[in-house]
Amino acid sequence: MTTMTQQPWLSSYPEEIPATIQYEAKTLQYYLKRAAEQFPEKPAFHFMGKEMNYREVYSEALKLANSLRDLGVEQGDRVAVMLANTPQAVISYYGALLSGAVVVQTNPLYVEREIEHQMIDSDAKVMICLDLVYPRVAKVRERTSLKHVIVTGIKDYLPFPKNMIYPFIQKKNTGIKVDIDYSDTLHAFTKMVEQGKEEEIPLTIDPQKDLALLQYTGGTTGPAKGVMLTHYNLVVNTQQCEEWMYELKPGEEVVMAALPFFHVYGMTTVMNLSVRMAFKMIIMPKFDPKQILKAIEKHKATLYPGAPTMYIGLLNHPDIEKHDLSSIKACISGSAPLPIEVQNRFEAVSGGRLVEGYGLTETSPVAVANLIWGERKQGSIGLPWPDTEVKVLSAETGEEAAPNEVGEIMIKGPQVMKGYWNQPEATQASFRGEWFLSGDMGYMDEEGFFYIVDRKKDMIIAGGFNIYPREIEEVLYEHEAVQEVCVIGVPDAYRGETVKAFVVLKDGSSTGEKELDDHCREHLASFKVPQYYEFREELPKTMVGKILRRVLVEEEREKQN
């Protein structure tokens, strides 16, 4: 049996990255307190002209924590946070943790059915939400266990006069007039903070056993499951992140915070890492390429974790050449495969390093990543992080696959979840011993670099051939006219399944099906070439910018019925 010290990927580690780390048995909220003590005047964030330092953020989080206790929140209770990227999202997350609660991150785009499922499943006692989404929460509240709802608005943390003007802009843009009648169970966020005591709450938390977070998966295979992540899981992953990005300096970096904090990727690589290392976050409530280009230049952002569609959005913005992006040191791309063409173009424009990482909600989330400063291989997701073991399960033998043999990726490490909330059978099915089954198909080369070929469930079987959409997408991204693409399998009477590509062309392009077909035939075996092309102005995406392949699959299925 191969031991950690014998793993092939370790020989590719630069000397700055250790194979194993001495992890701190601390709670997540400890790091906000530490930042407030070590860097009290350091700006924690910039938000639409508003800045707060770490001392102020810790103070407000403490006050909110005490107000939550006054509402009856006890250690281990669940507090849902349904906020876009705002100062309140940071204060609420850490305030809930400081109260002893378990955070339940909730997507602000959720509809009533999704909110109801998540609140019932998590048995959340309190929700903190945006005023714009409160009407949806109100409709389902009586069918859940929510005893209190705390409401805030974007304007609450804007400087004067923006805070006066914003409600009018919000109404114009959304058509929603926010008018809330507060009561004994419906509270204003600002008052909760103002009235709370600024004192620490004594807690007896075991970081390795006690949950910090219930993070719900996307629900692509049924109702969303609550992933149980402990304080230790999340602290470990931020510590691994710190070691991997060893050139970043505590208290000095500026992070572009465009990834949603309610998504585990943005939560760990932006919010938790920034708090741990006292970085300044440039908080963006939504992805707006023009505003992000301006913010990178103005604030001299040095770190920009993102998703491929975010980098694509910047690269295709007509003003990109007008902005200086040279402050960027590093970008880690996640949540979806990073096309090589996008990586090369973004590095050329910014001068920084853009590398792909890989992980899942169940791994807090990062398990594997390319070296930012070191050897990397094009098309690879990189090397397992310190103390993380990854292997490939052969579909043929059920044993560990040989190098370059495709199988299911399995992961073992201190960042792997405790299990699924109230779903012991699902938990058991997702593990083989200590190894978590990712559901992703990939392989490892002789040097320990890993490659993802696709999701197990996304594989297309056409005429007996296994076809992986990612390979076809990579080829299409190489075509100069293609901005975005998603490939799926569609029913075929003869082959069982065949390949269909959904394509978004760059502005001004008149490229048609024949040109793309010729391009694919030049670079792919004939059985992999798409039989159908559908041109669209945009593709369905998550808030993180991940293309929703399942939505396209469902649309095609409905057409067949």
Q: What's the pLDDT tens digit per position in 291-303? A: 999 999 999 999 9
Q: What is the mean pLDDT of residues 225-253?
A: 97
Q: Are 482 and 506 in contact (CB under 8 A)?
A: yes
Which residue carries 């063409």 as its tokens?
Answer: 341
Q: What is the mean pLDDT of residues 480-492?
A: 93
Instruction: Please give the Cα distance from 54 to 294 (Å, whole number).
Output: 24
The residues pairing with 454 across neighbouring beta strands, listed in sequence order, are 441
Encoding tokens for residue 219?
């629900």
Encoding tokens for residue 177?
């007039």
pLDDT at 5: 62
Instruction: Please give the Cα distance from 322 to 251 (Å, whole number).
Output: 29
What is the pairing mode between strands 450-455 and 383-384?
Answer: unpaired
Q: Helix %, strand %, coil % for the chain, to 5? A: 35, 25, 40
The rounded percent of the chain whose pLDDT value lies above 70 is: 98
3-state secondary structure of 223: coil
Number of CB atoms found within 10 A of residue 557's CB: 11
Instruction: Please give the Cα distance from 415 to 560 (Å, whole number).
Output: 42
3-state secondary structure of 444: strand
The phi, psi pair for 36, rounded to 5°, reads: -65, -30
Instruction: Please give the Cα distance from 467 to 498 (Å, whole number).
Output: 9
Q: Are 227 and 417 in contact (CB under 8 A)?
A: yes
Q: Are 367 and 351 in contact (CB under 8 A)?
A: no
Encoding tokens for residue 436?
């978590």
What is the pairing mode between strands 186-188 and 148-152?
Answer: parallel
Amino acid identity, position 468: Y
3-state secondary structure of 553: helix
Burial string for 21-50 (b: 16+ CB within 10 Å, else e) reads bebeebbbbbbbbbbbeebeebbbbbbbeb
DSSP character string of 244-260: HTTT--TTT-EEEE-S-
In this predicted structure, the answer to whether residue 110 has a pLDDT above a threshold of 70 is yes
Mean pLDDT check: name the lowest of 98-107, 130-139, 522-531. Answer: 522-531
Cα–Cα nearest to 303, from 284, 330, 325: 330
Instruction: Please give the Cα distance from 354 to 333 (Å, whole number).
Output: 7
pLDDT at 352: 96
pLDDT at 221: 45
3-state secondary structure of 307: coil
Cα–Cα nearest to 54, from 296, 387, 355, 279: 279
pLDDT at 175: 76
pLDDT at 518: 96
The residues pairing with 47 across neighbouring beta strands, listed in sequence order, are 50
Which residue carries 């040989």 as its tokens?
Answer: 402
Rg (CA), the chain: 23
Instruction: Please give the Cα distance from 377 to 353 (Å, whole number).
Output: 13
Instruction: Please give the Cα distance from 495 to 146 (Å, whole number).
Output: 51
> What value, to the nearest 5°, has the Cα angle with vertex 202 and ends 200 and 206?
120
Encoding tokens for residue 467?
């076809």
Instruction: Please give the Cα distance from 347 to 147 (Å, whole number).
Output: 49
- Report long-range pairs for 219-224 (Cβ below 8 Å, ≥24 apart): 219/114, 220/550, 221/457, 223/117, 223/121, 224/114, 224/117, 224/118, 224/121
Q: What's the pLDDT tens digit per position in 282-327? A: 999 999 999 999 999 999 999 999 988 899 899 999 999 999 999 9
Query: What are the Cα distances from residue 66, in Å, to 73, 98, 403?
Result: 9, 8, 54
Q: Specify burial of residue 444 (Cβ count, 10 A radius: 0-12, 13-18, 19+).
A: buried
Instruction: Please give the Cα distance from 407 to 440 (Å, whole number).
Output: 8
Instruction: Please give the Cα distance from 147 to 429 (Å, whole number).
Output: 34
Could you tell me how many residues make up the chain? 561
Q: What is the mean pLDDT of residues 479-484?
A: 95
Encoding tokens for residue 43?
């700006």
pLDDT at 2: 55
Interhelix angle for 340-350 vs 308-315, to 10°?
A: 50
Q: How far is CA 373 from the centre of its chain?
A: 23
**Residue ranges of domains in the chain, CATH in brackets:** 27-40+53-231 (3.40.50.12780), 459-560 (3.30.300.30)
Q: Are 150 and 196 in contact (CB under 8 A)?
A: no
pLDDT at 453: 85
Q: How far is CA 440 from the centre of its chain?
A: 17
Q: What is the mean pLDDT of residues 387-413?
A: 94
Instruction: Please give the Cα distance from 550 to 183 (Å, whole number).
Output: 41
pLDDT at 455: 74
Mean pLDDT check: name the lowest of 28-37, 341-350, 520-529. Answer: 520-529
Maximum pairwise Cα distance, the chain: 70
Cα–Cα nearest to 342, from 441, 482, 447, 247: 482
Q: What's the pLDDT tens digit per position in 201-230? A: 999 999 999 999 999 986 544 578 999 999
The model's pTM: 0.86
